[in-house]
């Protein structure tokens, strides 16, 4: 596969993933972290890191807005719920397992 076609496909897949996450607002970031070991904020951090590696200035808030489709503070006020004790426990267990790997 040609490099430019591969990059176009990868870009389209990322956009579909972001659209999917934007439409699944009931899925909390902590749940994503427990199951997949990444969340929407991780995607924003990766976006900033990749931009910076290419000498492109990009701040975290702008990257979050790209990922969430709106300012993070607005998404948080509309959709984020308090983590349950069970979620926190599962997240901490996941972090312990990840640290051992």
The residue ranges of every structural domain in the chain are: 3-100
pTM: 0.90
For domain 3-100, say whether CATH 1.10.3340.10 is its number: yes
> Which of 40, 27, 30, 31 is CA-nearest to residue 67?
40
Low-confidence ranges of the chain (pLDDT < 70): none
**Sign of the four-CA dihedral 57, 6, 12, 44:** negative
Structure confidence at residue 60 (pLDDT): 98
Structure confidence at residue 28 (pLDDT): 97
Structure confidence at residue 100 (pLDDT): 83
Structure confidence at residue 69 (pLDDT): 97
């Amino acid at each position: 596969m040609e490099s430019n076609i591969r990059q176009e496909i990868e870009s389209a897949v990322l956009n579909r993933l972001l659209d999917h996450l934007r439409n699944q607002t009931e899925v909390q970031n902590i749940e994503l972290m427990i199951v997949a070991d990444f969340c929407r904020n991780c995607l924003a951090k990766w976006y900033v890191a990749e931009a910076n590696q290419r000498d492109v200035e990009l701040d975290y808030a702008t990257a979050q807005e790209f990922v969430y489709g709106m300012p993070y503070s607005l998404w948080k006020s509309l959709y984020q719920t308090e983590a349950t004790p069970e979620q926190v426990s599962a997240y901490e267990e996941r972090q312990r397992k990840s640290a051992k790997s």
